[in-house]
Chain A
Amino acid sequence: MNFDILGSLPLIVIWLALGVVGIIIQAFVRSDSTRLVYGYYIGTLVTTGLLAAATISNQGTAFGGMVTLGGWAAVFDLLFCGAGVMAMLAAQAYLGRFNSELDEFYTMLVSSVAGMMLMAHARNLVVLFVGIELMSISFYIMAGFFRSRDKSLESAMKYFLLGAFATGFLVYGMALLYGATGTLDYSVMLKVIAAGTARFPVLLALGAVLLTIGLSFKIAAFPFHQWAPDVYEGAPTVVTAFMSTAGKAAAFSAFLAVFGVIMPMVKVASMTPTLQLVLAVISAATMLIGNITAVAQTNVKRMLAYSSVAHAGYMLMGIVAGTTFGQSAVVYYAFAYTFMQLGAFIIVGLLEREDETSLMISDYSGLYRKHGVFAAMMAVFMFSLAGIPPFAGFFGKYMLFYAAIESGFTWLTIVAVASSVISVWFYLGLIVKMYFSEPNPETHEANAGLAGISLAVCTVAVILLGIMPRIITGMLGN
C-alpha cells in the first residue's frame, strides 16, 4: 500500500512531533525548563503550517482513504496552526501572570490542533470522531487550567458534561449511518446511497440528523449553544480565544465535509428541503439569539462569547446554501472570524487583572488615552466583527449573504442583515466607550510582549484580507 507521503507530511509531522518527540522531551527535561518545550511546540506548529501551505495543491487521499490531503483541508491546517501559534505567543505572558504556566498547557494546545487537523482531513467517520474527541478533551483540560479559580473549574465541568452529552448523539448518528450503509467511509457511503442499496432510510435520516446535532453542539448553534457563554467566560482568556476561533473553524471544516455526504443522504430519504430548512432556521435563531443576548452583557468576555455564537449562525448560512461558493464563503469567513475574534480576546486577556477584574465594558472607558494602540486594534476588530468595510468581516459577510441569496434563502439573508444591525450596537458601543468616555483611572499597565506579534498579525490580516480577499479565495480556487 503506497500513499502520497508528501501530502500527508503535515499530519505525520504533527503527530510524531507531538506524540513521540514532544512527550519524550517533556519526560526527560526538568520541569522548570518551560522555555524549551514552548519553543519546541511553536516550532512544531510553524513547521506543520508551512508544510500544509506547501501541500495545498497536492490533493489526494492517504491511509487507506481515511484522510484527504491538500485542498481546503490543508487551507484549514494553515488556519489551525496559525491560530495555535498566535494563541501560544499570547499564552506565555498571560499564564505567567497567573502563575499557571506549565508545559502541559502547550502540549494540550498542540494536541487540540492535531485533533482539528484530523477533523478537517477526515474522510471516515471514525477518524472524524477521534479528531473531535482529541480536540474536545484538550479543550476540557485547557478550560479548567486555572485550578485555583472556581469559574475556570466550573467552565471545564460544564463543557465536559454537556460535551459528553452531545458526543453521545454524535456517536449514535455515526452508528446509525454505519447500520444503514455498512461503511464509515464518506465516499463509499455516497456510492451506496447513489446505488440505492442503503437499507433502512429511516436510520439514514436519523443518523444524519444526529450527526448534525453533534456538530451543531461543537459550533455552538441554537439550541445547543448555551454552554458557550459560560465556558468562554470562565476559561482562561487565552484558551477562550483559541477555542472560540480555531475550535469553531474546525467544527465547520468537519461540517463542510460531512454535509457533502449528509445532503445526498437525506435526498435519498426525499427530505432535503426539510433538513436544509431546519438548518436555515437554526442559523437564523443562532444569530438572532447570539446578537440580542450580547446586547444585554456588561462583561466584555461574555459579550464576545455571545458574539461568537452569532458568528456561528452567519457561517451556517454558507452551509445552508450548500453551493461551492457557499463553502468557500465559510472557509473565508473562518479565517476572517479567527483573526478578528482571536485579536479581540487577546486584548481582553492583556487588560485582564490577576484578580479576575477589569473585564467589564465600563473598564474600557477612555482606553485610547492609556493604551492607544490596543484601543485602535480593538476598534479594528470590532469594526470587522460588525461587518464594516473595508475589513475582512465585511467581505466574509458579503460572501455568505450572497451565497444564501443565490440558493434562494432571501429571508435568511434579511434576518442576517437585521441581526448584523443589532450587533453594531454592542460592537460600536465598545468603541464609543473606548474613545468617547472619560478614562477609567483604574486601567492598569499592560505590556503586550510576545502577544504583540499575534495582535499585529491579526490586525494586519483583518485589514489585508478585507482589501485582498483573493489571498484566501485564491487558495481555494486550485
Chain B
Amino acid sequence: MLGAYVPLIVMILIGVIFGVSNIVLAEWLGPRRSTRAKLSTYESGMEPVKSARERFTVKFYLVAMMFILFDIEIIFMYPWAVQFRELGMYGFTAMILFMVLLFAGYLYVVKKGALKWD
C-alpha cells in the first residue's frame, strides 16, 4: 500500500534536491568579492541606525484583532449568503444570533474605550 505514496516521495525528493543543489551551486560557482556596501543590511537602501526591536503601542494589536474578527464574520457570511434559500429560517436565525453575539462584543469593546486612539 505504500505504492500510493511513491509519487509523493518522488516529489519530496525533487524538492529537496532542487533546494539543496541551488544553494550549494551558488556557493560553489559564484565569485566572492565583498565590499562594505554589499555587507550592509539594505544594500543601496536605508542606513540602519538603531535596534530593530521596537515596541508598538498595544492599540495596534487591538485593531488587528478586531479586524480579524470581522474578517471571519464576513467569511462566514459568504457561504451562508450563497445557500440562503436552502438554509431558510433556521439558517437566518442562526446567523442573526451569531451577529448579535459579535455585536455585543463589539459594543463592549467600544464602550470600554478600546478603540479610542489617545
A–B interface present (Cβ within 8 A): yes
Interface positions of A (Cβ within 8 A of B): 1, 19-20, 23-24, 26-28
Q: Which residues of chain A come closer than 8 Å to B110, judged between CB atoms? A: 27
B68 at the interface (CB under 8 A from A): no
Q: Which of B68-117 contact A (CB under 8 A)?
A: 90, 100-101, 104-105, 107-108, 110-112
Q: Which residue of B lies closest to A24 (CB)?
A: B104
Contact among B90, B101, B111, B112 with A20 in the assembled complex (CB-CB below 8 Å): B101
The interface residues of chain B, by DSSP majority, are classed as helix
Across-interface contacts of B100 in A (CB, < 8 A): 20
Task: Report the bound CA distance from A381 to B112 in whole Å.
Answer: 42
How long is the Cα–Cα vector from A1 to B92 in the complex, in angstroms? 13
Known: A1-B90, A19-B105. 17 other contacts (CB 8 A): A19-B101, A19-B104, A20-B100, A20-B101, A20-B104, A23-B104, A23-B107, A23-B108, A24-B104, A24-B107, A26-B108, A27-B104, A27-B107, A27-B108, A27-B110, A27-B111, A28-B111
Q: Which of B100, B108, B110 has the most CB of A within 10 A?
A: B108
Query: CB within 8 A of A27: which of B90, B101, B112?
Result: B112
Interface residue count on the B side (C-beta < 8 Å): 10
User: What residues of chain A lie closer than 8 Å to B108, measured between beta carbons?
Assistant: 23-24, 26-27
Residue pairs across A and B with Cβ atoms less than 8 A apart, 16 shown, are A1-B90, A19-B104, A19-B105, A20-B101, A23-B107, A23-B108, A24-B104, A24-B107, A24-B108, A27-B104, A27-B107, A27-B108, A27-B110, A27-B111, A27-B112, A28-B111
Instruction: Give residues of chain B (3-37) contacting chain A, Cβ–Cβ below 8 Å.
Output: none
Compute the total of residue contacts between A and B using a CB distance below 8 Å: 22
**Docked complex Cα distance between A26 and B90 (Å):** 30
* A28: B residues at CB distance < 8 A: 111
B9 to chain A, nearest CB (A): 15
Q: How far, in angstroms, from A26 to B112 measured CA to CA in the complex?
A: 9
CA distance A27 to B104 in the complex (A): 9
* Nearest Cβ on chain A to B78's Cβ, whole angstroms: 19
In the assembled complex, the Cα of A20 lies from the Cα of B103 at a distance in Å of 9
In the complex, which residues of chain B have a beta carbon less than 8 angstroms from the beta carbon of A19? 101, 104-105
Question: With the chains together, A28 CA to B111 CA distance in Å?
Answer: 7
In the complex, which residues of chain B have a beta carbon less than 8 angstroms from the beta carbon of A24?
A: 104, 107-108
> Nearest-CB distance from B52 to chain A (Å)?
23
The smallest beta-carbon distance between A336 and chain B, in angstroms, is 36
Q: Which residue of B lies closest to A21 (CB)?
A: B104
A21 CB → nearest B CB, Å: 8
Quick one: which of B29-47 are within 8 Å of A by CB?
A: none
Q: Which residue of A lies closest to B112 (CB)?
A: A27
Taken together as a complex, chains A and B put the C-alpha atoms of A283 and B111 apart, in Å, by 49
> Top 7 nearest A-B pairs by Cβ distance?
A27-B111, A27-B108, A23-B104, A23-B108, A19-B101, A20-B104, A27-B107
* CB-based contact A23/B105 at 8 Å: yes
Chain B residue nearest in CB terms to A104 = B112
User: Chain A residues with Cβ under 8 A from B112's Cβ?
Assistant: 27
Shortest Cβ gap from B93 to chain A (Å): 10
Most buried by A among B104, B107, B108: B104
Beta-carbon nearest neighbor of A201 in chain B: B1
| Cβ of B4 to closest chain A Cβ, rounded Å | 9
CB-based nearest B residue for A63: B94
For B88, give the chain A residue with the smallest CB separation: A1
Closest to A29 in B: B111
